[in-house]
Amino acid sequence: MASYSEDQCSWRGSGLSQAAKSVEQVWLRCAEGSVEWLYPAGAMRLTLSPRLPWSAMGPGESSRSPVSACVKPDKHWGGAQLYLERNGVLELLVGDETSETPGPARVQCFSAMPGERPALFLQATPHQDISRRIAAFRYELRGDWTAQPSVNTDPIGREGACRPCNNTEILMAVCTSDFVVRGNIRSVEKDPNLKAAVIKVSATRVYRQKFALFPESGRLTRSGEIRTPLQCGVRPGAGSFLFTGRVHFGEAWLGCAPRYKDFLKVYEQAKQSLMIPCTLVND
């Protein structure tokens, strides 16, 4: 039987319980969640209608700034196609690419203006054997990414992601990022599937983190991973850094990362001139 999670952020159901040629209507009420459609049959229309106003999803420029919506299909996705429904037109987000050797899940994104209620349309594709088919994905809505009007634009990998932050951006990143961590770079590895560099970080202090991104790995030590686009060419460097950034589908992605001594200089100057937007807790 189909069911929502208690907070109506997620939905799970089966095509076997769906009437023939019917379109299941689903309303999702959160800024992030998941959908799992077992044995896809027929069609589903999912309306993204979070309870919070768009402007509350992140520090966007204003309440009229566009929101970026992203979906990440499960790596075993199959049995259906996922479309964005916009002004009566369907744009393909995820095709039915079932295979015996599933590849990495590719994130697909699109923009929406405040007041819009983006809708996703799931259409089952005919298969003789649906017993192994599951169309599952996670979604996120954020008001603090630079959204683009076209489909397939991932804000994490957007142009400009490699540009160094200026002093104002560094100070704002401390206030608004999903994680703020002081630490050292242990190593940098390549993830060709995500076209990302994976920065292995030993954290000496965790000021803020969304989820357990930097769990304790030993006595008084914490470690974690931060991703950044491969084209940024990140290399291991000596010294202490202040890492900030966003959580994207449970993974940490790098925003501003000044050397800690450079951050302290900017931070103290802002405090003295009374231009500091926020303070670091217990610092």
* Residue whose C-alpha is closest to residue 179's, from 143, 224, 239: 224
Q: What was the pLDDT predicted at 173?
A: 92
Measure Cα distances from 150 to 86, 109, 144, 210 in Å: 11, 8, 17, 29
pLDDT at 46: 93
High-pLDDT (> 70) share of the chain, % = 80
Cα gap 249→138, rounded to integer Å: 8
What DSSP string runs through 187-243? Answer: EEEEETTTTEEEEEEEEEEEEEESSSSS-EEETTEEEEEEEEEGGG-----SS-EEE
Q: What is the pLDDT of residue 105?
A: 64
Q: Which residue's structure tokens are 């015996």?
A: 100
pLDDT of residue 130: 60
pLDDT at 1: 56
How far is residue 40's CA from residue 125's CA, in Å, rounded to a whole number?
A: 8
- Digit-coded pLDDT (tens) for 45-102: 999 887 765 545 554 444 566 778 889 999 889 889 999 998 888 999 999 865 444 5
Confidence grade of residue 261 (pLDDT, cut at 50, 70, 90): very high
* pLDDT, tens digit (0-9, with 9 covering 90-100), for 131-164: 678 999 999 887 655 444 445 445 555 556 788 8
More confidently predicted of 99 and 245: 245
Residue 247 corresponds to which tokens in the numbers above?
A: 């959580």
Instruction: Give percent of the chain with pLDDT exceeding 90.
Output: 39
Tell me the H-state helices in the chain.
167-176, 260-272
What pLDDT is recorded for position 120?
Answer: 94
**Regarding predicted confidence, which is higher, 142 or 264?**
264
Q: What is the mean pLDDT of residues 256-263?
A: 95
Q: Assign 258 a pLDDT band (cuts: 50, 70, 90).
A: very high
How many helices (H) and strands (E) the chain has is answered by 2, 17
Which residues fall within 8 angstroms of residue 168, CB to CB, at 6 or more apart? Answer: none
Helices (H), 106-241: 167-176
| Predicted local distance difference test score (pLDDT) of residue 276 | 83
**Taking residues 207-232, what's their average pLDDT?**
85
Question: Is it the case that residue 282 has pLDDT exceeding 60?
Answer: no
Q: What pLDDT sits at residue 126? A: 80
Phi then psi for 117, rounded to 5 degrees? -120, 90
What is residue 72's predicted lDDT score, i.e. its pLDDT?
Answer: 92
Angle at 268 (CA atoms; ends 263, 274), nearest 5 degrees: 125
If you average pLDDT over residues 209-219, what whole number do you get?
82
Q: In this predicted structure, what is the pLDDT of residue 232? A: 87
pTM of the model: 0.73
